Amino acid sequence: MLSLQAPGRCLSARKLTQHWLSRFSLLIAVLLSLDVSVFDQSPRQFATGIGTRESPASPKQPTLMLVSTRAAKSRTDSFFHLANRKSNRGAQGAGTPFDSGVTDPNSFKRPHFSGSAAIPLPQSSSLPPNAPVLFAPSNSATSVSLPPTLDVSVSDPVGSNLTVTFYGRVASTPGPDFTLVALPDTQYYSSNLNGGTLAMFNSQTQWIVNNRVAANIAFVIGLGDIVQDGNNGGNYSEWINANSADSVLDDPTATGLPQGIPYSFGVGNHDRGPSGDGSPNDTAGYNQYFGISRYSGKSYYGGHYGTQNDNHYELFSASGMDFIVINLAYDVSADSNVLAWANGLLQTYSSRRGIVVSHYLINDGLNASWSNQGLATYNALKGNPNLFLMLAGHLTPPEGQRTDTSNGSN
């Protein structure tokens, strides 16, 4: 999972290039028991503001992940089972049945599959199976003939029967590159402070509209600190400024989209309290201008936690991939109830790639340390294999980033 902390200024659009393109992806799980609980994990590609990096998800041990150079949708369209095989070699085809039963240890090479059969209990052993040996196709192979044939040797150190399960998914046609735009800490533009002006804010959102088609902009994410002074004693002039700058994203005529360009704006510490001091449970200005009613009628809006929009989520799709964006409000210490809600969303939408956003998750620098809320958020959500990206703002330059792996998922 990649975590990015943007500096405390508004960034120009950054291109999050996604190449989830694949001819075929297979996962071989070699297990000694009848209880098979290994699931297909798709490779993931993510981008920082500097460059693009690819990180294939690693399945639970003992497994072998075969991934071609490109990956497609993260859904398991089909899977096939082969049971009750001795130490032997296996072959897979896409969608044709194969027959089951015990074969000679070195003869397991066939172009098709069948259903499962009754499996005898394996002999007792404290040793794990030997690592599978792949013969064909080679790892990251492309242009594999159809139907593909999987040629792999599996064996057990004490000669016990092995239960071998193959998982596969149907490849899909790759989609075009697309862009996610991050807008961190626009408070000086909304407040006209420290050299910031509302004109700067307007020019940034207008740039998004002007380049929507050319850059294939799929979604805009506000990283919090929309304004500087919170509720400002009831003076909502900063919120009015922010609303005017962001409203161009809603304009069907300007954007060429009936519901405008999809977006999600989160709550930062300066968006809370009577004067932007981060006091909890005081987001009156935010909810008046960026609350539930703002998203009324927008099909991409998923919903919110509680009665306000401090914590909310959106759904969008781009290049044949489905995403969920969960925007969590800034808090000094994470709310366990909110995290449970977010965890439930990632599980409910397990077929969607998950992006979690909050104002302050990590500090600056490479391999940056977590904030208190950031660490609690990561620990609560890291068990979801579809979570691949966390975004935050808050800090002045330099930027911060870190990459973490949990249960084989980055």
For residue range 357-402, what is the model confidence (pLDDT) as tens digits? 999 999 999 999 999 999 999 999 999 999 999 999 998 778 899 9
- Are the CB atoms for 149 and 188 separated by under 8 Å? no
Same domain assignment for residues 203 and 142: no
Q: What is the pLDDT of residue 74?
A: 35
Confidence of residue 315 (pLDDT cuts 50, 70, 90): very high
Same domain assignment for residues 61 and 209: no
Q: What is the pLDDT of residue 170?
A: 66
Amino acid at 273: G
Domain count, the chain: 2
- Evaluate whether residue 408 is within a structural domain: no
Of 172, 202, 220, the residue that ends a domain is 172
Residue 106 above 60 pLDDT? no
| Residue 281 φ/ψ region, left for φ over 0, alpha for ψ in the -120 to 50 degree band, beta for the rest | left
pLDDT for 335-347, tens place per residue? 999 999 999 999 9
Same domain assignment for residues 246 and 125: no
Residue 399 parent element (H or E): none
Q: What is the pLDDT of residue 35?
A: 35
Same domain assignment for residues 139 and 187: no
- Six-digit token string for 379: 């620990």
Dist CA 339 CA 378 (whole Å): 10
Same domain assignment for residues 287 and 315: yes
CA-wise closest residue to 11 among 222, 194, 246, 195 = 222
Contacts of residue 251, Cβ cutoff 8 Å, sequence gap at least 6:
209, 260
Dist CA 54 CA 181 (whole Å): 20
Same domain assignment for residues 298 and 367: yes
φ/ψ (deg, to 5) at 253: -70, -45
Residue 322 above 70 pLDDT? yes
Same domain assignment for residues 128 and 219: no
- The answer to whether the pTM exceeds 0.75 is no
Q: How many residues does the chain have?
A: 410
Q: What is the pLDDT of residue 344?
A: 98
pLDDT for 179-233, tens place per residue? 999 999 999 999 999 999 999 999 999 999 999 999 999 999 999 999 999 999 8
Of 58-67, 157-166, 398-407, highest mean pLDDT: 398-407
Dist CA 168 CA 382 (whole Å): 24
